[in-house]
Structure 1
Amino acid sequence: MALQTSPDSPAPLREVVRGVQGWVDRLGSVWIEAQVVELKSYPSVTFLTLRDPLAEVSVTATVDSVVLNGAGPVQPSAQVVAELKPYVHTKATSLRFACTDLRPSGQGRLLARLEQLRQRLAAEGLFDRERKRPLPFLPRSIGLITAGGSAAERDVLENSRRRWPAATFTVRNVPVQGQQAGLEIITAIGHLDRDPSVEVIVIARGGGSLEDLLAFSDEGVVRAAAAARTPIVSAIGHETDTPLLDHVADLRASTPTDAARHILPDAREEARGVQQARQRLDRAIGNLLGAEQQRLDQLRHRPGLANPLYGFELRHDQITALRDRARRSVQNRLQAEGSEIQQALARVRAMSPKATLDRGYAIVADADGATVSSVDQVSPDQALTLRLADGDLWVAVDEVIPRSTEPEGEQP
């Protein structure tokens, strides 16, 4: 019921605000479809800005963290369906909205479902890096799963054979979208994985919408790829496309063309590498042979090889020098010893009685040969021997005259 007011009978502002608040409250909660424009999170509340996809109309609503987390990953530009409860903030008299429920809409709902599946498979360890296997350097045969006659098949085959002309492929053509696509891809993976000649499997498809690539996010396909013993390369769509198969594959190629670069080496680059390796080997062998030849030349020009008798001559010269040195050493020793003998002989001769005899003295000895040094040792008529320098004299003592009885001034 409208308020009856006039200049003479105005209504209090509080009644007008309460009236507006009552009208808004009677509207109750409403479900709206909109696009997320902006998210601003604060410790106590998150502000969610929503915009009508067909008109320049937008509102900002507060949303509880429980409601926001229950909606899965909500990013700007995502399409959502939200339950909004409008209310009037009486203090500022402003219209505000509270978001009491939030759900992905359209593609957003699909993304949320895929994200839940991704988290579940990741928790099982299917995406762990430790499960990734290295690709063979040059596989005998390459398994290819793709749509028959598609651009993806042509890109993989042509680019692979351009890189390595002798590349061999085992191709399994399957539908890559639609309800039966997942089952066909699972069957193809099993068939190629059992083939002993296939050493790597490439699963390829060109670009498309999220719905077009759903077969490569199918849980059965992901589990079949994880269970395969043969390394798997995922080459789905473009760089921005990331189906769940990319996470479980042993290698993710950004495009089918890029897959060829990963599974096969470039024959021309390998040929250049081989040529460079041969050149390095040639240089290394040449350097080694040159060094050994120089060593042989040095050995050949050594005196011992130039003259076989060089060693004997060298030892002969050494022996001669040693002999001469020994001779000189012996001679020097003999001269030194001779000098010492001469000196000793001179000393002996200086003390020898013979030297005294040479000066005219004589040695007196009795009949027994004992030296007589005193007159007290002889008696008259005793026979004595006088030893002179040149012979002996036998004499008889006529008289013994002691020195004390000699006249003074007489010489003996």
Structure 2
Amino acid sequence: MPKIWTVAELTREIGQTLTENPDFVNCWVSGEISNYKNHRPSGHWYFTVKDEYSSIKGVMFRSRAERVRFVPQDGMKVLVRGSIRIYERDGNIQLYADEMQPSGVGALYLAFEQLKERLAQEGLFDTERKKPIPRFPRRIGIVTSPTGAALKDILKVMERRNPQISWILAPAAVQGELAPREVAQAIARLNRQAQVDVIIVGRGGGSLEELWAFNTVEVARAIAASGIPVISAVGHETDVTIADMVADLRAPTPSAAAELAVPLWMELKANLAQMESRLRSSMALQIHQKRQRVDSLKSIGPLSNPFWRVDQNRQRLDALSERLEQGMTRFVSDKNGILRLLAAKLDLLSPLAILGRGYSLTYGPKGNVLRHSDEINVGQQVQVRLQQGALTCAVLSKSSDPK
């Protein structure tokens, strides 16, 4: 009787057979991608590789997918390297991918084109967002390898063009897996800590793989986020990177970047001397014109007779003095009239004027004016004030009767 397999036994046996067959281990499969899905929580890729006759499911785990330099798309022709195994839970044969390359085009080139299109859509290449390079920078920031030829070339040109200018190096790896992060961090560090007017980012020439750090989204966004203008100087003149497109200015080589960033000292001196000469000529012309103006005023204006103005002011002073004297006379006269009027009014109210009409004032022993007979006793003396002279009298009798 033939053996009866359980489903689990059968799938395990098929899996073992696939594992033991060397043709199905680390093999290459050519086909078209379909049903591609990037499982966001895990980062694993799930897809199908098919041709016109058949298809096979595939999976690429996150650790492998992170090494792929392009993003798969449905309909893309690819070469996939991996192992054929069975997924026992579903009984499906799957391709467990370790590597993926675009078929007919290089992976790096495809990744470059995809990132360029993506960043262009975001506006990172737009001319409007590019910052002008300062004409007279005081300090240059440099992001490159401290041991590379690019740094030597940049410093050599800077020394030749302007030995007075200062610079600061933000060292970073420019090749390898750590390069993108180090370049991005160096740009951010210069923005955060160093007071520089322009940043040169770059390295010497190399292959596409060697220049790849400057074709990454990490470096592109760091350049775009820089508040300080950035000059990209990556490789040779024929090398064009994403960093070149995002930067505020692209230089064909690191040496050319230094030429663009640093003004020539001798040119500055010559320009300064020329400006000084023009300023002196302008000042001499201005002084000559002002002297001619003064000479003209001296011959036809008040300056021809400087005492004329003094004489006129003296005449004005005489006229003002006369007006002041007349005004004071009228003022005093008016005030005298007022005083006489007030004196007459006071005289009418004076008790002495009343005495002139036959009346008298009687004062008690204490000097108080007596207004009633009850204020004095019989036998006391009183003083009587007349218009002329005074009397001392004794009170012989008194009466309260006004009659």
Structure ID, larger Rg: 1
State the TM-score, normalizing by the size of structure 2: 0.48
Q: TM-score, normalised by structure 1?
A: 0.47
